[in-house]
Structure 1
Amino acid sequence: MANKVYKFIDLFCGAGGFAKGFEMSNQFKCIGGIDNKKAAVETHKLNFKNSVSVHADIRELPPEEFHKMINYQDVDVVIGGPPCPTFSTIGHAKIQSVNKDNGGCITEDPRNVLFMDYLEYVKYFKPKMFVMENVPQFLTKYKGKTFEEVKRIIERDLPDYHIVENVKVLNSVNYGVPQSRRRMILIGHLKGYSFKYPTITHWYKGSNFNINPNDDDIDINSLKPHVNVESAISDLPNITDNWRVSICEYSKHGDLDDYQKLMRQNTNGTVANNICRMSNERAKKVFAHMKQGDIYMDLPKEVRQILPFREDIFKDRLKRLVLKNPSWTILAHIGMDGYMYIHPTELRTLSVREAARIQSFPDDFTFVGNQQDTYVQVGNAVPPIMAKAIAESVYEGLTHEN
């Protein structure tokens, strides 16, 4: 008997990294997505054939209307990461108006109303389980008061749901993603179901970036070594920064490692989105002085003068990736200039596809939009391979009722 396939909707879906991971588990099907970024929705629509992908502001799309759009289908799981700038270290300087005295109450920043809309969708659809992801600062902002407020609101508005105790931060590097990317994962489920955070499978030796969410004793030597940048990008098409052909043949066809085989398993010998931002000549002169792992302030002063920045603020304004290490976090800022993601061996920044590989998007996943749109979609995504691990744990909790 075939395993049951659960239906889910993807709120604040972006390009669909979270949803892709759920579908990669072969246990879930995305039937709907919502986002206010048009190009991201076009990407979502292209890659999720069973989904009604809607370009809309969720604040203006009641769940009843969305239910009609998906033909009144039942929803087993709701996933999504409502943008909460109040929790982000990047957004902190921009929101000085938040009242710290009451813990940075979530309702005080209008952008955080999106969190309440997420809850409204959960309240309406009554899924068996919901999965919310956010930045790790979600748990610690204002000494944890913001999270306590969030938890209080969830318990008040969704009394039928149990919030999994000891909400955890996961790191994608521990699940086979060639990137250190930490995300808070909050789970709520109806009575009769359960959830345990996914067991880690990989370990980055000599690093403090590892996270074992279940706090259990593990034999580090039994885990697989981290997937590195070389594995992520070395088989992709050879390009230059003035290359403007999106669909190209791979540069390597034999002796592929496991990660490369996984990324290429549904392709026909070509891959799209092989477009790289052009770097100016001054930047390239600086790149030429950088060894793998170097940051801007590692360079001699005379080299920094070629491409000067505020050195008290932008100490790591330029960073060259290391082939044998995982990447640092791919952020949406890669859509601006890419200087924090300089290719390990070439005088250019990463292409859209290289960034997508580091995020663990399979090569059959195609991004739609202009160059900046596609970079931002990659940078904003949940790594699909980590999402797949979460999905498998969700499936386990749905199929083994208490």
Structure 2
Amino acid sequence: MKKFNVIDIFAGCGGLSDGFKKGGSFNLLGAVEWETAPAKNLINRLESRWGYKDAKERVLIFDIQRTEELFRGWKNDLKYGENKGLDEIVGESSVDLIIGGPPCQAYSIAGRIRDKDGMKNDYRNYLFESYMKVVKKYRPKAFVFENVQGMLSASPGGTPVTELIKKEIEDAGYVILEDLKEHALLDLTEYGIPQKRNRVIILALNRDYYKNPEKILLDFYHRILPSYKESKVTVSDAIGNLPKLYPAEKDFKVNGKKYSHYLSNIKVLNHEPRYHNRRDVKIFQELTKDIEEGNFQYVTTEALKRLYTERTGKVSNVHKYYVLRRNEQSNTIPAHLYKDGLRHIHPDSTQARTITVREAARLQTFDDDYEFISSSGDNYKMIGNAVPPKFAEKLAHAVFEVLSQEIEENDMIGNSLNASL
């Protein structure tokens, strides 16, 4: 089977890369990520799981906005060190596909609400332009652009993001479908992801390779990709069999680190409880018992805000607490989980805690053999920023079908020409 060469841009810790590798039909030429912690985790994953001995060279830790240096290489940079650059890594290989999505905070509705200027001036609004410079440089047959639902309503500088993106893509010689909300907005729970996560998945096709790109794209969104849907997976399905972590009678320390919950004797990578003060442990017990016992006193926003004020003496415009429902999908695993886990409380009242790094990873569908090697804060953040690998694998299979269509068309053309000679 032919393998297609792929470059992963804004790779993070490798949610997309892992899925595309598991799909079995893609060879990762290189990946670009400008944050050190997720890049190091990606390198470790490529070495330990996928056998890339040159992973440190293939993963470029660099600012994509410095595009020319990204291509040609850089030396003696105080922040990024040195690397030979993408051009040398790609070499004589053809780049068949580029995947990735610029940081989504500037496009997210939640991010725009939190920012006093609605994130109009956020530089991340324009990282797509740098992404497109890479596309224009290597001219892949297709590229995949992933982002949050909020990009469909974002208007930095007063111009809708979707208009900016569509113009940039068309000017580069690629085709996407007109109505992204109708075609490209996906509910990932339909693909076996145990969390509520809506994402925009844009597949763009190179006009030089495809005779009827619009027809192929319609087929991709409405037949090929939906064929990989599966039954919905619940929180209990995802994390229910992990070792339980019970609250201790009093705080204790292990190797100088403070704990509020006992550690499990059964070792599972990254399954270690966060520290919680006594007040929060009691609140978690009360909230989870309220649901377990069917009282449902604390399931409305107003009730949760009132509880927060009563227990902390503080006032919040949004409710701070949310208990995961055992038999439903989790709420979205966000990047800011590293700051605050109160909206991801474990549903078991006997454990009275928020979710661990491993539980967040399972809700994002990372395999248990993916070892997160950074601080717990960095681990939570990179997991929340990632594309769920299980969905990425399904996406890889679907994109492979589209890329293979192009090969079949060329073979048919070639056979016709040979027959006429």
Is the shorter-chain TM-score for this pair beyond 0.5, marking a shared fold? yes
Partner of 1:88: 108
Partner of 2:70: 62
Fraction of identical pairs, as percent? 31
**1:314 equivalenced with 2:318 (yes/no):** yes
Between the aligned partners of 2:305 and 2:201, the Cα distance in structure 1 is 42
Between the aligned partners of 2:370 and 2:29, the Cα distance in structure 1 is 17
Change (3 A) 1:114 1:340: same
Partner of 2:13: 15
Partner of 2:279: 282
Aligned ranges 1:370-385 → 2 under 5 Å: 370-385=375-390
Partner of 1:365: 370
**Helix, strand or coil: the match of 2:17?**
helix
Between the aligned partners of 2:314 and 2:305, the Cα distance in structure 1 is 14
Once the two structures are TM-superposed, the CA of residue 214 in structure 1 deviates from its matched residue by: 2.8
Change (3 A) 1:333 1:302: closer
Partner of 1:334: 337
Between the aligned partners of 1:236 and 1:182, the Cα distance in structure 2 is 26
Residues 260 and 276, structure 2, Cα contact 8 Å, conserved in 1: no
The amino acid of 1:398's aligned partner reads: L
Once the two structures are TM-superposed, the CA of residue 297 in structure 1 deviates from its matched residue by: 3.9
Change (3 A) 1:39 1:85: closer
Change (3 A) 1:288 1:97: closer
Change (3 A) 1:39 1:243: farther
**Helix, strand or coil: the match of 1:78?**
strand
Change (3 A) 1:64 1:248: farther
Partner of 2:395: 390
Aligned ranges 1:228-307 → 2 under 5 Å: 228-240=234-246, 242=259, 249=266, 271-290=268-287, 291-292=290-291, 294-295=298-299, 297-299=302-304, 301=306, 304-307=309-312
Change (3 A) 1:84 1:371: closer
Partner of 1:134: 147
Residues 83 and 115, structure 1, Cα contact 8 Å, conserved in 2: no
Between the aligned partners of 1:172 and 1:287, the Cα distance in structure 2 is 28
Change (3 A) 1:275 1:243: farther
Once the two structures are TM-superposed, the CA of residue 144 in structure 1 deviates from its matched residue by: 8.0
The amino acid of 2:136's aligned partner reads: K
Partner of 1:263: none
Between the aligned partners of 2:307 and 2:381, the Cα distance in structure 1 is 33
Alignment equivalent of 1:111, drawn from 114, 118, 124: 124
Once the two structures are TM-superposed, the CA of residue 298 in structure 1 deviates from its matched residue by: 3.3
Once the two structures are TM-superposed, the CA of residue 114 in structure 1 deviates from its matched residue by: 1.6
Residues 59 and 117, structure 1, Cα contact 8 Å, conserved in 2: yes
Residues 190 and 231, structure 2, Cα contact 8 Å, conserved in 1: no
Once the two structures are TM-superposed, the CA of residue 335 in structure 1 deviates from its matched residue by: 0.3
**1:24 equivalenced with 2:43 (yes/no):** no
Partner of 1:43: 41
Alignment equivalent of 1:148, drawn from 142, 163, 169: 163
Between the aligned partners of 1:297 and 1:97, the Cα distance in structure 2 is 25
Change (3 A) 1:301 1:181: closer
Change (3 A) 1:110 1:299: closer
Aligned ranges 1:97-246 → 2 under 5 Å: 109-142=122-155, 145-156=160-171, 158-159=172-173, 161-167=174-180, 168-191=184-207, 192-193=209-210, 195-196=216-217, 214=222, 224-240=230-246, 242=259
Between the aligned partners of 1:245 and 1:285, the Cα distance in structure 2 is 16
The amino acid of 2:387's aligned partner reads: V
**Helix, strand or coil: the match of 1:23?**
helix
**Helix, strand or coil: the match of 2:28?**
strand
**Helix, strand or coil: the match of 2:344?**
coil
Between the aligned partners of 2:271 and 2:285, the Cα distance in structure 1 is 22
Partner of 1:352: 357
Change (3 A) 1:248 1:398: farther
The amino acid of 2:194's aligned partner reads: P
TM-score, normalising length from structure 2?
0.75
| 1:129-169 residue CA offsets vs partner (Å, 9 max, x unmatched) | 1101111121233598331122112212x12x222443311
Which structure 1 segments of 5+ residues have no match?
99-103, 200-212, 250-269
Between the aligned partners of 1:120 and 1:247, the Cα distance in structure 2 is 49
Residues 128 and 190, structure 1, Cα contact 8 Å, conserved in 2: yes
Between the aligned partners of 1:175 and 1:46, the Cα distance in structure 2 is 27
Between the aligned partners of 1:68 and 1:109, the Cα distance in structure 2 is 29
**Helix, strand or coil: the match of 1:58?**
coil
The amino acid of 2:356's aligned partner reads: S
Change (3 A) 1:97 1:141: closer
Once the two structures are TM-superposed, the CA of residue 178 in structure 1 deviates from its matched residue by: 0.6
The amino acid of 1:272's aligned partner reads: L
Once the two structures are TM-superposed, the CA of residue 19 in structure 1 deviates from its matched residue by: 1.3
Once the two structures are TM-superposed, the CA of residue 120 in structure 1 deviates from its matched residue by: 0.5
| 1:154-207 residue CA offsets vs partner (Å, 9 max, x unmatched) | 212x12x222443311121000011110111111112334554798xxxxxxxx
Between the aligned partners of 2:169 and 2:63, the Cα distance in structure 1 is 22
Between the aligned partners of 2:21 and 2:6, the Cα distance in structure 1 is 10
Partner of 1:209: none
Between the aligned partners of 2:240 and 2:15, the Cα distance in structure 1 is 22
